[in-house]
């Protein structure tokens, strides 16, 4: 759930949507199940919910339905307040490459493939993915899994009797947190805003509050201002309540100095009963880790101008690396496995300044991915740095043998990460610092170069606009051909569609798309020797679809409405 929160919080592009988590306090801390597949399903469902919800909330919840000493039955659900699904389309929603309405594919992106895969994965884990929806009011995707319990568990620290006040403007969020506070044995009341909280804290005819949990983002008095006023209200009194700031992951980097010395500690969503208990213990003992956390996220500009590729299959490690690198000035591209990483490295028009390569990955591991990347002469000078938990000298020697230049130990430490990257990118960093504008100009041309294409057509802009109209239609037809042929295992037919789309992209100056199509063609040449798995086929198709959508979006920006019928 922490992995999911880290990734989903990065996708929240508007304050009109709130991502909420409701975890059953009765959930054991240790279960036997397929955590990776469960995470993939929930990430897909929650990602879809965020995509199709313009305002309101998305709720990811777990509920213990039945439990005995050895087994557990858990319902997982993702509920949103989005556009909903027409009733006559519900029975088709889990079919491959189907969406409730064809218009949603172009408006929101995607093909509906994710739900089909989610359905299969849930069934392989012994459950059934179901949906309830009402058009215009939202949807609820849910499934139930049977899992084995593990007898070992973390025992929560006993808490003293105290009375807590939860302050949050979102009614559902208040209810969830209040329920969790009560589940660990505390009395709990609620306030819907900072002003109401201050009034309740000043009441003399009711028992005092020893603890306040206040949401960071609220209209009117936000969490910080509410906390400051609580501090001013109580001054140095010994009966002043401890204050815990409840914050979403994406809110932590708003201002590195905010909150230092004001609250007693932070509690980062999603929250479990164990996390809540630990935070209360920390807050009430006046042992705050708030300043440490803020200073870690403050960041520097030591990697300013660098474009780095991180090849890592673990979602948590992806987020850690991305967060640390972004905070220190770098632009980061993520690849989720060795095949995707190799293709992104080779398809980059301007080579990455460095590649951070995980050693242990499904499919091809870091060593094999590095071997294949180093086969290309233009990749000989790109630093490839291993991300490894192995400290044996033999492992380090293996990294050097395939062409890696260094290694970074896991868990990733900030100083080691920055120092290692700096050591191998001094030329790139100096270039970025002295010619940042030039680098920006280069990166801006990586999708399409319409001017060059028009020049190649003899300067005929009108002809280019006519061809653009044809391209907008025919490119989607070729993409559908790639999809159908690829999934049916018709490699030659797939290559033909790829070759056609690559030629069209070249004519139109769609540089990035042309490069991706060429790279996929190279990949498929190996298919006559080693047939690609279903997962590899889906990866190849997703790369083609993503690249084409990015290209069409860029055309929409540079040539709005031109050539459109």
pLDDT of residue 36: 87
pLDDT of residue 413: 73
Q: What is the model's pTM?
A: 0.47
pLDDT of residue 113: 54
pLDDT of residue 390: 64
pLDDT of residue 441: 37
Separation of alpha carbons 14 and 11, rounded Å: 9
User: What are the Cα distances from residue 7, in Å, to 10, 152, 350, 546?
Assistant: 5, 29, 27, 19
Separation of alpha carbons 345 and 349, rounded Å: 9
Cβ–Cβ under 8 Å, residues 20 and 59: yes
pLDDT of residue 444: 40
pLDDT of residue 491: 83
Cβ–Cβ under 8 Å, residues 468 and 559: yes
pLDDT tens digits in sequence order for the chain, 565 residues long = 777 776 776 666 666 788 888 988 888 878 898 988 998 899 899 988 988 888 889 999 999 999 888 889 999 999 999 999 888 888 788 875 444 444 444 444 443 457 888 999 999 999 999 999 999 899 999 999 999 887 644 555 567 788 999 999 999 999 999 999 998 889 999 999 999 999 999 887 778 899 999 999 888 889 989 998 998 888 766 778 999 999 875 554 444 335 545 788 888 877 877 788 888 888 887 533 433 333 344 456 788 878 899 999 887 778 778 888 888 888 889 998 999 899 889 888 778 999 999 988 888 899 999 999 999 888 888 999 998 876 566 677 888 889 999 888 777 777 788 888 988 885 344 444 444 434 433 444 458 888 888 887 777 788 888 888 888 888 999 998 898 888 888 888 888 888 889 888 888 888 888 888 888 877 777 655 556 677 677 778 888 888 888 888 888 888 875 555 4
pLDDT of residue 439: 42
pLDDT of residue 348: 80
Separation of alpha carbons 11 and 4, rounded Å: 11
Separation of alpha carbons 253 and 218, rounded Å: 17
State the SS3 of 386-451.
EEECCCCHHHHHHHHHCCCCEEEECCCCHHHHHHHHHHHCHHHHHHHHHCHHHHHHHHHCCCCCHH
- The CB-based long-range contact list for 11-15 (8 Å cut-off, 24+ gap) reads 11/47, 11/50, 12/50, 12/248, 12/250, 14/54, 14/55, 15/217
pLDDT of residue 289: 40
pLDDT of residue 512: 85
Task: Please report how the helices 534-558 and 491-508 are oriented relative to each other, as an axis angle in degrees rounded to 10.
Answer: 20
pLDDT of residue 175: 92
pLDDT of residue 197: 95
Cβ–Cβ under 8 Å, residues 176 and 22: yes
pLDDT of residue 409: 79
Sign of the alpha-carbon torsion through 307, 308, 309, 313: negative
Q: Is 447 exposed, middle or buried (0-12, 13-18, 19+ CB in 10 A)?
A: buried
pLDDT of residue 167: 96
pLDDT of residue 392: 64
pLDDT of residue 370: 95
How many CB atoms neighbour CB 11 within 10 A?
A: 14
């Amino acid at each position: 759930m922490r992995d999911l929160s880290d990734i989903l919080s990065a996708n929240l592009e508007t304050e009109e949507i709130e991502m909420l988590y409701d975890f059953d306090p009765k959930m054991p801390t240790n279960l036997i199940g397929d955590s990776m597949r469960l995470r993939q399903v929930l990430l897909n469902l929650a990602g879809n919910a965020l995509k199709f919800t313009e305002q309101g909330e998305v709720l990811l919840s777990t509920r213990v339905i039945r439990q005995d000493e050895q087994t557990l039955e858990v319902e997982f659900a993702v509920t949103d307040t989005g556009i909903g699904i027409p009733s006559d389309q519900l029975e088709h929603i889990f079919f491959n490459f189907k969406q409730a309405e064809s218009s949603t594919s172009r408006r929101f992106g995607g093909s509906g493939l994710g739900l089909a895969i989610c359905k299969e994965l849930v069934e392989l884990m012994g459950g059934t993915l179901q949906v309830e929806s009402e058009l215009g009011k939202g949807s609820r995707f849910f499934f139930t899994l049977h899992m084995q319990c593990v007898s070992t568990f973390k025992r929560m620290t006993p808490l003293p009797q105290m009375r807590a006040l939860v302050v949050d403007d979102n009614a559902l969020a208040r209810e969830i947190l209040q329920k969790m506070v009560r589940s660990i044995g505390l009395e709990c009341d609620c306030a819907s805003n900072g002003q109401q909280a201050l009034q309740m804290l000043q009441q003399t005819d009711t028992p005092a509050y020893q603890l306040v949990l206040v949401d960071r983002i609220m209209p009117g008095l936000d969490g910080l201002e509410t906390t400051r006023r609580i501090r001013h209200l109580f001054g140095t009194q010994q009966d002043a309540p401890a204050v815990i700031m409840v914050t979403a992951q994406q809110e932590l980097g708003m201002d590195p100095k905010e909150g230092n010395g004001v609250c007693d500690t932070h509690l980062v969503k999603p929250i479990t009963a164990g996390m809540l208990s630990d935070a209360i213990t920390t807050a009430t003992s006046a042992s705050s880790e708030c300043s440490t956390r803020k200073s870690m996220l403050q960041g520097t500009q030591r990697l300013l101008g660098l474009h780095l590729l991180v090849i890592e299959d673990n979602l948590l490690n992806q987020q850690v690396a991305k967060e640390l690198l972004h905070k220190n000035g770098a632009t980061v591209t993520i690849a989720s496995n060795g095949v995707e990483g190799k293709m992104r490295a080779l398809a980059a028009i301007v080579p990455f300044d460095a590649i951070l390569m995980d050693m242990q990955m499904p499919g091809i591991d870091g060593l094999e991915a590095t071997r294949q990347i180093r086969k290309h002469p233009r990749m000989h000078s790109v630093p490839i740095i291993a991300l490894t938990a192995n400290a044996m000298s033999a492992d380090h020697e293996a990294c050097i043998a395939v062409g890696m230049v260094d290694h970074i130990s896991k868990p990733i430490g900030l100083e080691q990460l920055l120092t290692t990257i700096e050591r191998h990118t001094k030329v790139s960093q100096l270039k970025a610092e002295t010619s940042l504008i030039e680098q920006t100009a280069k990166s801006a041309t990586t999708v399409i170069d319409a001017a060059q294409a028009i020049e190649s057509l003899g300067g005929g802009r009108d002809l280019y606009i006519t061809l653009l109209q044809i391209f907008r239609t025919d490119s989607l037809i070729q993409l559908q051909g790639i999809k159908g042929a690829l999934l049916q295992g018709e490699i030659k037919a797939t290559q033909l569609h790829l070759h056609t789309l690559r030629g069209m992209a070249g004519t139109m100056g769609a540089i990035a798309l042309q490069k991706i199509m060429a790279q996929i063609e190279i990949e498929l040449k190996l298919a006559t020797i080693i047939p690609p798995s279903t997962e590899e086929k889906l990866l190849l198709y997703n790369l083609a679809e993503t690249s084409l959508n990015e290209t069409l979006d860029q055309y929409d920006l540079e040539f709005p409405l031109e050539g459109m019928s």
